[in-house]
């Protein structure tokens, strides 16, 4: 039996695709901060979110099981000619416990491998996980 494909969900049964991940550490608090960017939300496509249960957390599932993380913030960025086209959504997570961070990183390694993503240094700041080009 093969390992399940790692998934990220806001609504049960609707896997989302991460476009980018930025990993940072708050210099003042030492808190680890993760910012996940989603450019195409499946839960918004064809009103999928109205037919599924909202998890009230970000669900990360892989071969080790499922973790639920409460976002510290969620930001919707709009653009387009009239400024009403959803460009992307950014979900910010704050992880303070080492064991949770280690588990999150194991998930991200599996997710990156399954989705053709690789670590890289973005132009602006911090390390991150991006699609391979």
Which pLDDT score, from 0 to 100, does residue 133 have? 43
* Token code pair at residue 37: 């960017």
Q: Is the pLDDT assigned to residue 87 strictly greater than 60?
A: yes
Answer with the residue of higher pLDDT: 97 or 124: 97
Bridge partners of residue 20, in order along the sequence: 37
Tell me which residue of 88, 74, 16 sits closest to 48, measured CA to CA: 16
Answer with the residue of higher pLDDT: 132 or 82: 82
Sorted by where each begins, the domain ranges of the chain are 7-131
| CATH code reported for the domain at 7-131 | 2.40.30.220
Answer with the residue of higher pLDDT: 16 or 80: 16
Residue ranges in 7-96 assigned as alpha helix (H):
none
């Amino acid at each position: 039996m093969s390992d399940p494909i790692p998934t990220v969900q806001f609504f049960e049964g609707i896997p989302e695709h991460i476009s980018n991940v930025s990993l940072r550490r708050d210099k003042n608090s030492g808190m680890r901060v993760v910012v996940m960017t989603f450019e195409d939300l499946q839960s918004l496509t064809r009103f999928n979110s109205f037919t599924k249960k909202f998890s009230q957390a970000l669900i990360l599932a892989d071969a080790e099981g499922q973790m639920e993380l409460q976002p510290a913030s969620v930001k919707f960025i709009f653009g387009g000619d009239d400024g009403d086209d959803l460009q992307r959504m950014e979900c910010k997570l704050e992880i303070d416990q080492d064991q949770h961070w280690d588990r999150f990183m194991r998930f991200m390694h599996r997710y990156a491998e399954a989705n053709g993503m690789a670590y890289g240094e973005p132009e602006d700041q911090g390390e991150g996980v991006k699609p391979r080009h």
